[in-house]
């Protein structure tokens, strides 16, 4: 499962970067139990869920600010672009319903949760 937040300054290059990183990141166990295989290598797929609350900033006050989260139509366009890039890389992609209140259940093995941010690259 990929929870995808789109920021105001994101563009198509960010969507492509995140797709490439997600598809090729070696986070699944190999025969020796080491995190050494990508989702492509495992024959897995992606559930892509839009999650603007990843941009929630609770540094000040008592209510998070979402001012850095992208609005429509940019957010849905880049969410779709990331999914299309994952599909281009050969992964099956299931999509959450953009902008909807959804009940999402996640079982995390390990647990392993990794934050990827295209703006934090060198």
Annotated catalytic sites, by residue?
Answer: 53
DSSP state of 109: S
DSSP state of 35: E
Strands (E), the chain: 2-4, 28-29, 35-37, 46-50, 93-95
Q: CA of 39: how far to CAs of 22, 35, 80, in Å?
A: 8, 11, 19
């Amino acid at each position: 499962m990929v929870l995808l937040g789109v920021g105001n300054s994101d563009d198509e290059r960010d969507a492509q970067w995140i797709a490439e990183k997600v598809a090729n990141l070696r986070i699944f166990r190999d025969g020796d139990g080491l995190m050494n295989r990508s989702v492509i290598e495992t024959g897995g797929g992606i559930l892509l869920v839009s999650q603007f609350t990843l941009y929630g900033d609770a540094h000040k006050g008592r209510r998070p600010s979402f001012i850095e989260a992208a609005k429509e139509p940019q957010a849905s366009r880049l969410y779709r672009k990331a999914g299309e890039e994952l599909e281009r890389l050969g992964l099956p992609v299931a999509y959450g319903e953009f902008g909807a209140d959804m009940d999402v259940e996640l079982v995390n093995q390990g647990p392993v949760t990794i934050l990827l941010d295209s703006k934090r690259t060198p």
